[in-house]
Structure 1
Amino acid sequence: MVPVKLTSEDLAFLRRPLYGFFTVAAGAEEPQPRPVWFEATDIGTIELFTLADAAKVRRLRTDPRASLVVAAPVGEPEHWVSVAGTVTLESQGAQELAARLAARYWDLGDRGRSTELEQMLGAELLRLVINPQKVARYTP
């Protein structure tokens, strides 16, 4: 597939602290979407992090195709962006990404959350980079 670019409107929407639903190509297995934190980058990729031994990592090593769907919350006009493409697994930058995303999604002034982040950062993490090859969207 040929890479595609996210629009400036897509990027503005994806930079909100919304949950994405990440699904990897599963071959003969059932797809298993999971809610995730994510970051839309200036170069048009989508990044997330995960434990290095997660099932999604094993699946991505076999078939690197995946998608992320992000929707506006209830009470807002219907708006969503779906990104599909290939994923690269990166050993560098996962802890930094996790820290940035935790600050975006959590109140790190809350001692419980900051302790949870410390534990998260102590784990072996990978950075997943989605290289968009297909983007679908709906906006009113």
Structure 2
Amino acid sequence: MFRDEDLALLARPLYAFLTVAPRGERWPAPRPVWFEVSDDGDLQMFSLPDAPKLDRLREHPRASVVVAAPPGEPEHWVAVEGSVTLHDEGGAELAARLAQRYWDMSDPKYQKFLDEWRVGGVVRIVVHPEVVNRFSA
């Protein structure tokens, strides 16, 4: 579902904004997350197991994700809507890959975070794209 220019944007260490169904009378509230595109074209991210978004995803396993080029670059964004699956396996490995992508892992404080995630466990969130919208200036 992704075009080459989409994949070029998604390969960069940019934040994705994940939106899940809100609880009660709240409005949807996107959250910045690290992500990667899997080999089969899904978007993967991870979360701590006690995060409220996981409860909402269990109730309503759908989400949207938006990734945009930063200010100062020509406008370019990709928006994905799709079903979501949650996985206990693969989360720590994903977190380690993404930590390498987003952090300077020679800094001990970042290694400490990664070690805590490995011990405490993380849940892998997989968004299966059903609709992809995009804009590129």
Which bracket does the TM-score occupy, shorter chain normalised?
over 0.9
Gapped runs of 5+ residues in structure 2? none
Matched ranges for 1:117-132 at <5 A: 117-132=114-129
1:1-140 correspondence to structure 2 within 5 Å: 5-26=1-22, 28=24, 29-140=26-137
How many residue pairs get matched? 136
Runs of 4 or more consecutive aligned structure 1 residues displaced over 6 Å after TM superposition: none
Q: How much does 1:120 deviate?
A: 2.1
TM-score by length of 2: 0.94
Measure how far apart 1:24 and its partner are: 0.4
Q: Secondary structure at the match of 1:96?
A: helix
- What one-letter code is carried by the residue in structure 1 that aligns with 2:14? L
User: Counterparts of 1:139 and 1:15 in 2: how far apart (Å)?
Assistant: 16
Aligned equivalents of 2:23, 2:47: Cα separation in 1: 21
Deviates most, 77-86 or 117-126: 117-126
Gaps of 5+ in 1: none
Q: Secondary structure at the match of 2:74?
A: coil
Per-residue Cα deviation, 1:41-99 (whole angstroms, up to 9, x for no partner): 12110000001121111001110110110110111111100011010001110000000
Percentage identity across paired residues of the two chains = 52
TM-score by length of 1: 0.92
CA shift for structure 1 position 27? 6.0
Distance 1:17 1:35 in 2: 12
Q: Distance in 1 between matches of 2:129 and 2:31?
A: 18
Root mean square deviation, CA, Å: 1.2
Residue 22 of structure 2 aligns with an amino acid whose one-letter code is A
